[in-house]
Amino acid sequence: MKRNTSSHLATLAIMTTLGLVLAFVSLWFGVRPLPTSTVWQALVAFDPSNTEHMIVHELRLPRAMAALIGGGALGMAGALMQSLSRNPLADPGLLGVNGGAALGVVISIWVLGATAQSQLVFPALAGAGLAATLVLLLGGAVRPRGPDPTRLILAGAAVGALFLALTWAILILSRESLDTYRFWVLGGFTGITKSDLVALLPLFAVSLPMGLAAAFLLAPLILGDDTARALGVRVGFVRVFSTVAIVALCGLTVSMAGPIAFIGLVVPHLVRPLLGADLRLVAIGSFLTGAALAVLADILGRLILPGQEIEAGATMALIGGPSLILLVRFRREVAL
Amino acid sequence: MTAHLTCENLCLSYGKTPVLTDVNLDLVPGQITAIVGPNGCGKSSLLRCLSRVQSPTKGQVLLDGEPIHKQNTKQVARKIAFMPQSATAPTGMRIMDLVLRGRTPHQSPLQQWTSEDQRIVERALDQVGLTHRAHELLEDLSGGQLQRAWIAMVLAQDTEILLLDEPTTFLDLAHQQDILKLVRELQADRGLTVAMVLHDINLASRFTDNIIALRDQNVLCSGVPQDVITEPNIQDIYGLACSVIADPHHGLPHIILK
């Protein structure tokens, strides 16, 4: 018991260190090469009149933090989603929030003429919120016994498909929307500014603890609904709460960074062999690993083609696809 | 003071199909009661209602006179433990992880793990004889050992009432006996009130104090084994012709099918 706990704590500490080190290292990468000493100076002795210091403070630091928070939120949401649905291939995107965010984005481009990435954050959040509410209602969240996970996923698929269809309808009507949308839909942390991050941080500050609480609440459900009920767990309430936490985490991330695939799907599979079957540990580990992986994807995107940037959403798919295949092929999977 | 579980006019239906109709029963505190009856007679549903896992359509389950479906779920879970039929755990789970789950109703978000939990879990593992295997994976255990691990889980819940749904399913004769002996030992040691669904009437006769026989959504007869296990009753419950003899070792009723 004791031995296990301390080795798990060590694993979590390594994951934390890895994420923070990667985020720190990422400050040195960008379109404009900055000398090591300048980046360091920008951190320890910030000078607002220095353009290079401003690049670090206004662009690279928010970008690294957004990757940490967004990647972490997706990793945690993935662990919760797989546990909620008892399906190892479930991705939080199945709940339809990406479709809702996409619709919010194209409507704001089409109607309001938004073009900058930061103008898209709140329309995306509104769309994701609308989709999430519909999915919860259709998934049976108001029934006395609570939502049924299969119903939730079906509702998510239906709502997501409907919202994407509407998105495409608008894109066909308006060509200029397509240009901005094309960039948004790749997903990544490039366009994030300090003010976007500051605006979203309070919402993350609510939804991340909710996600952690959901992990603690969902953990007993691993033994089946009957056993969980017999242990005094209010299964219906736990499912509604967890679903709200998942859609909040995903909705915020997609609003901030666009849809980023694979983190929610792959990260819990990377984490389980290291931390075992306890969802509480897996959710925390998935947050830390998701954060590290998102920063890594963002760094790689700045390295692959010199002088150009590839969005983290694309590099993540490049990392995520093969690692999922490797996991399925070689690991002894810890099931749900 | 042992908790007292009863039910009054309990009705349950799934859609329009009635499963239990006006069931009244009283689990004798500090004794083992077997619930027997043909497949589909509502045994498992009855146990699920008694454990609060299933809400009845009508009627009430009373714990010391208070309806359990209106009480705080955690409070009830500290008094009544339930082991579902063929309970499943995910792979990758160790015996210890499973038994720790039994402490769920005693924990809160702010208080996850205490030395009290530790002591109770160690005692549960010790009583089922799995102390030295606590770190083994559940999927590596034999059927009998797995059932012991689940029993340790419900013991860790530290309740006065234990409800077991077919604890002997899928076990061979020796392991069935082994589990029932364990239940008897635990009941005697902890002064538990136990109710369990059993299929084997002879085992029920040997290891329980009372038998409740169900037939067609209701209690057909109940009482000590000598009163319930009679030739006419077995004919009524299962539609089987049999002879009932006194078993040569304990003098308890034993059925021989014709």
ipTM of the complex: 0.89
Whole-angstrom Cα distance, residue A212 to residue A230?
Answer: 23
Interface check for B73 against chain A (CB to CB < 8 A): the answer is yes
Question: Which residue in chain A is spatially nearest to B134 when comparing CA positions?
Answer: A1
pLDDT higher than 80, residue A327: no
Could you tell me the two tokens for A266?
């792959």
Q: Which of A8, A82, A231 to mutate to test the interface with B (most CBs of B within 10 A)?
A: A231
**Domains plus CATH for chain B?**
5-228 (3.40.50.300)
Confidence class for position A4, pLDDT limits 50, 70, 90? low
Per-residue pLDDT tens digits for A30-84:
777 788 888 888 888 888 888 888 888 888 899 999 999 999 999 999 999 999 8
Interface check for B53 against chain A (CB to CB < 8 A): the answer is yes
Which contacts of B239-245 are long-range, i.e. CB under 8 A and separated by 24 or more positions?
A: B239/B38
Whole-angstrom Cα distance, residue A267 to residue A69?
Answer: 14
Round the average pLDDT of chain B to a whole number and report it: 91
Confidence class for position A5, pLDDT limits 50, 70, 90? confident
More confident residue, A43 or B79: B79
Interface check for B203 against chain A (CB to CB < 8 A): the answer is no
Is the backbone of residue B9 left (phi > 0), alpha (psi -120 to 50) or beta? left
The pLDDT value recorded for residue B208 is 95
The pLDDT value recorded for residue A190 is 83
Instruction: Say whether A335 and B104 touch across the interface (CB within 8 A).
Output: no
- What do you get for the CA distance between the two ends of chain B, in Å? 44
The pLDDT value recorded for residue A331 is 59
Q: Which of A226, A237, A282 to mutate to test the interface with B (most CBs of B within 10 A)?
A: A226
Q: What angle, rounded to 10 degrees, do the helices at A97-112 and A175-186 form?
A: 140
Residues of B in contact with A213 (CB under 8 A): 109
Q: Quote the percentage of chain B above a pLDDT of 70.
A: 98
pLDDT higher than 80, residue A208: yes
CA distance A4 to chain B (A): 10
Query: Residue A302 is inside which H or E element, if any?
Result: helix A279-303
The pLDDT value recorded for residue A2 is 44
Interface check for A216 against chain B (CB to CB < 8 A): the answer is yes
CA distance B154 to chain A (A): 9
The pLDDT value recorded for residue A41 is 86
The pLDDT value recorded for residue A15 is 95
**A142 — phi, psi (to 5°)?**
-95, 0
Residue count (chain A): 336
Residues of A in contact with B89 (CB under 8 A): 222-223
Residue found under tokens 């070689």: A330
Per-residue pLDDT tens digits for B55-74:
999 999 999 989 998 889 99
* Segments making up each domain of chain A, as ranges: 2-330
Q: Quote the percentage of chain A above a pLDDT of 70.
A: 96
Per-residue pLDDT tens digits for B211-243:
999 998 899 999 999 999 999 999 999 999 999
Q: Quote the percentage of chain A above a pLDDT of 90.
A: 35
In contact, A86 and A149? CB cutoff 8 Å: yes
Q: Which of B48, B72, B97, B110 to mutate to test the interface with A (most CBs of A within 10 A)?
A: B97
Instruction: With CA atoms as reference, report the closest residue to A95 among A82, A108, A104, A110.
Output: A82
CA distance B123 to chain A (A): 15
Residue among B51, B73, B97 whose CB faces A277 most closely: B97
Interface check for A210 against chain B (CB to CB < 8 A): the answer is no
Which class is A2-330 in CATH? mainly alpha
Interface check for B251 against chain A (CB to CB < 8 A): the answer is no
Per-residue pLDDT tens digits for B117-126:
999 999 999 9
Question: Which residue in chain A is spatially nearest to B51 when comparing CA positions?
Answer: A230
Could you tell me the two tokens for A34?
């900055």
Pairing verdict, β B5-14 and B218-223: unpaired
The pLDDT value recorded for residue B200 is 92
Interface check for A142 against chain B (CB to CB < 8 A): the answer is no
